[in-house]
Structure 1
């Protein structure tokens, strides 16, 4: 982050030389140094927040009430103040880099830039987080424009398949395999591009998937650990042989948006990163939540407690790297199996989750269409940037 800030003078020189000059600058919240550049040139600037509005609001309320400073036990549950829904988290789950003493300088710059910004743009939609968006607008006293789910901007198959990186598997063969499965019969398992599991956790996940509903459940499992250990690769090869026909293991990058959008996929075991969570919501897929770090534990509370679209696996301790996965953080195969079966079958409660997911997916689709809430918010941003109406809400 310190290195990125060194771009400030170069960005300023570029903008000064540009003719016509920029009408507006939109920048990721972690690049708060851009705010000072924009101010020095008299250019309106808007912050883009990558996480959910729910997470940003929770972080704002925790800072406002200085909650974390009064808590000594990192693993004691407490309620986030001022929320309409009772949401409980632990200090270890919501402690951000900027909350740490050594990040005081960056934290001050971050909040100074937030105050000077003209508004905020977010990858969410009004109908998903209405109460949170309304509350956040009141808290910061600024315009907040949700323009998502951005994943729905990619409508054709090739765009969906190529979102992020090139797929590590032949997408046509994968689609053919999915086409052979019944609706809502495939569990998709992926923990994002950063998280890594030790061999002990991989084995437990595999046992849970293998034992769930016997041969009636199929799965796609994205594994990023194969380039780290020969032991992992040997175990995976044996696992694939035992589950041949029922499961597909993808080593590396998966066409996630395409997979989630297939009718055969009925559940998603996810780390609760906001992009993944929103892609699942946009596709109408219920979730088994397994957060690891950052905003993910708060996103889990949104999915499980507020939206009631998922079932928690039971992870409590934040982890990112393999060497952080202690025995205390290990989730047993039996717990994996239970959650998978609850998500994929779930009885009356499960059907209600699936119904809610379907309804939200329809609202997400309409939000992105002409005349929808996200479509109109994007128009408002454009008009604001052009100076047509600086008081647009």
Structure 2
């Protein structure tokens, strides 16, 4: 467990009671579990709202938190999936079986509102809530807070850079003037020049038919008394400064939240149970030279068609020939779908035995990234994964898919200069039917791997910058650091409302 950050002046017999309401998606739940533990360690009572299916997924984490003695309570609300028009048990975005049901799922989240309100009103044995912290996509929770007269804060999972860019694009009505989805144009008002394409930055909530959800999102953002972010001051100082000016309210970056998990057990169980024997994995990594392993993983939602799996495999195998010292770990969720993929993957594993490890299912990502043997990370640029790489000093090969990921790539490659773009240009929504044609050919994969792992003087400079950001991340979360102090300020905010 982490070093706790007590707030000496607080009367701990009257700890503030914070309610955390994460979005039902792995990438949103994982950092909010970390946030719950940090807030509890800093002097709060925390209630974490979830559902039966999602609680089952993080059961090892729940048990670990309960055994630690941290004052975190997990409350399971019943999500009426069938009533909402969803399959039974569809309680997480990655369980949505069809693109047509994504909007249904997002609209149905508000069905949890009356249950949360009843729970908070009826919980006579617990202290009343002093503050509700809700995921930015759970606008319904801000409605509950307002109805109960409880202060509420928004938790933003993405980078401040992405949030700021989205705000500036909307404020300046830029996308309405761009006809070509793939025309490069600059994001106005940024301190650093960044060019993007319309297709890469259009938010799903701003599409036709989503007006109600969009209005509720922006209303919740405006009504929140402050915003919590999984980032840190030293990483995004210019973006945070400009965003604070734009919003005119408290902005608290408290990350990297992944650094809460300091031991191998907590790293291995973060988010879900590992699909590989962790001791076997660590032994394999221990046998490799420092910075010699490329880790390849594309998050919990992105899916590759079979043709793309083949291209990735060819690129990785070709990179082994280019770099004799290279090894890799490749997380493949798609291999379980279809006999063709299974057969090809079996043959591929035999060919790369000893120099490559394939993990089919969920991998203990943070445990892998913290190992000294890992020197590169091919990632979809989800913010959790990006921030974990930054916090561990690992250089990235960036392959964004949708949402905030293309702007995260711009931050990593163009602003921070700690990554190399693989070359993906076209967004592929996680719920869309994937094209059978591979978007990125094997040669681009090989080239990106070689550039990250052996990029000459430029590669050395990237690795040096990544190491500097790693140290800044750790300093931010230590006692007296910027994230540590921001966390304490959130507790003070909630305490002052008692």
TM range (shorter): over 0.9
Matched-pair contact (CA < 8 Å) for 1:46–1:117:
yes
Matches within 5 A, 1:192-341: 192-214=299-321, 215-321=324-430, 323-325=433-435, 327=437, 330-341=439-450
Matched-pair contact (CA < 8 Å) for 1:213–1:341:
no
1:210-242 CA-partner distances (Å, limit 9, x unpaired): 111523210000000111111111111111111
Q: 1:72 deviation in Å?
A: 1.3
1:2 aligns with 2:112: no
Matches within 5 A, 1:74-153: 74-153=181-260
Cα distance in 1, alignment partners of residues 289 and 123 from structure 2: 55
Matched-pair contact (CA < 8 Å) for 1:196–1:320:
no
Tell me the secondary structure at the aligned position of residue 334 of structure 2.
coil
1:70 aligns with 2:70: no
1:107-161 CA-partner distances (Å, limit 9, x unpaired): 1111111111100001111111111111111111110001111110000101001
Tell me the secondary structure at the aligned position of residue 290 of structure 2.
coil
Matched-pair contact (CA < 8 Å) for 2:268–2:364:
yes
Q: 1:17 deviation in Å?
A: 2.9
1:179-235 CA-partner distances (Å, limit 9, x unpaired): 010000000000111111112111111111111152321000000011111111111
1:364 aligns with 2:473: yes
Please provide the CA RMSD for this pair.
Answer: 1.4
Cα distance in 1, alignment partners of residues 497 and 489 from structure 2: 10
1:12-67 CA-partner distances (Å, limit 9, x unpaired): 22222345321111000111111122122221100001111111111111110111
Stretches of structure 2 lacking an aligned partner (at least 5 in a row): 1-105
Cα distance in 2, alignment partners of residues 248 and 106 from structure 1: 42
Cα distance in 1, alignment partners of residues 109 and 434 from structure 2: 28
Cα distance in 2, alignment partners of residues 325 and 297 from structure 1: 19
Structure 2 length-normalised TM: 0.76
Cα distance in 2, alignment partners of residues 153 and 55 from structure 1: 23
Structure 1 length-normalised TM: 0.96
**Which of 8, 12, 24 is residue 117 of structure 2 equivalent to?**
12
Q: 1:252 deviation in Å?
A: 0.4
Cα distance in 1, alignment partners of residues 429 and 302 from structure 2: 5
Q: Could you say which residue in structure 1 is the equivalent of 2:134? A: 27
Q: Relative to structure 1, is the Cα distance of residues 213 and 223 closer, same or farther in structure 2, using a 3 angstrom cutoff?
A: closer
Matched-pair contact (CA < 8 Å) for 2:396–2:452:
yes
Q: 1:388 deviation in Å?
A: 7.2
Tell me the secondary structure at the aligned position of residue 480 of structure 2.
coil
Q: Could you say which residue in structure 1 is the equivalent of 2:264? A: 157
Cα distance in 1, alignment partners of residues 405 and 347 from structure 2: 32
Matched-pair contact (CA < 8 Å) for 1:289–1:311:
yes
Matches within 5 A, 1:166-205: 166-205=273-312
Cα distance in 2, alignment partners of residues 12 and 300 from structure 1: 39
Stretches of structure 1 lacking an aligned partner (at least 5 in a row): none
Tell me the secondary structure at the aligned position of residue 127 of structure 1.
coil
